[in-house]
Amino acid sequence: MIRAYEEPERTGRSGPASPARDAARSADARKLLVAERVIGSAQGTWAELWAQLKPGVTPGGLVTPQMDGGFKPACGWPEFLEKLWMLKRYLDYTARLCGEPGGVARSA
């Protein structure tokens, strides 16, 4: 969900508004909106993955005996793995967008 963000009131302490400061605030606001959308997509993807795993897990987080025979996603392995990789991409992109120091781990 995209929310509108209001700029804080300008006080005498921060000095008069400048075009450079306004441009930086505008760029930050755009980054925040993009980050919210990407995080929303990541949360949706996580919910889809969890829906596949949830039948084999108790509310307390324990794996049920039915999972002893192995896990097979109802959507099929190709789609399940694609969703898992999309979740990683969403998280990597959000980390880069937010300027995470040191970058993103590139493990396979």
Q: Inter-axis angle of helices 19-53 and 77-97, to 10 degrees?
A: 160
Count Cβ neighbours within 10 Å for each residue of 16-39 and write b for 16 or more, e otherwise: eeeeeeeeeeeeeeeeeeeeeebb
* Angle, alpha carbons 94-30-28 (nearest 5°): 85
- As a whole number, mean pLDDT of residues 4-21 equals 58
- As a whole number, mean pLDDT of residues 4-15 equals 50
> What pLDDT is attached to residue 108?
46
Which sequence spans correspond to the domains of the chain? Answer: 42-59+67-100
- As a whole number, mean pLDDT of residues 65-93 equals 93
Q: What is the pLDDT of residues 74-86, one digit of tens each?
A: 999 999 999 999 9
pTM over 0.85: no
Nearest-angstrom CA–CA distance, 85 and 45: 10
> What pLDDT is attached to residue 101?
59
> What pLDDT is attached to residue 20?
77
11: tokens are 């006080």
Asked whether the beta carbons of 87 and 45 are under 8 A apart, the reply is yes
More confident residue, 105 or 92: 92
Nearest-angstrom CA–CA distance, 41 and 87: 8
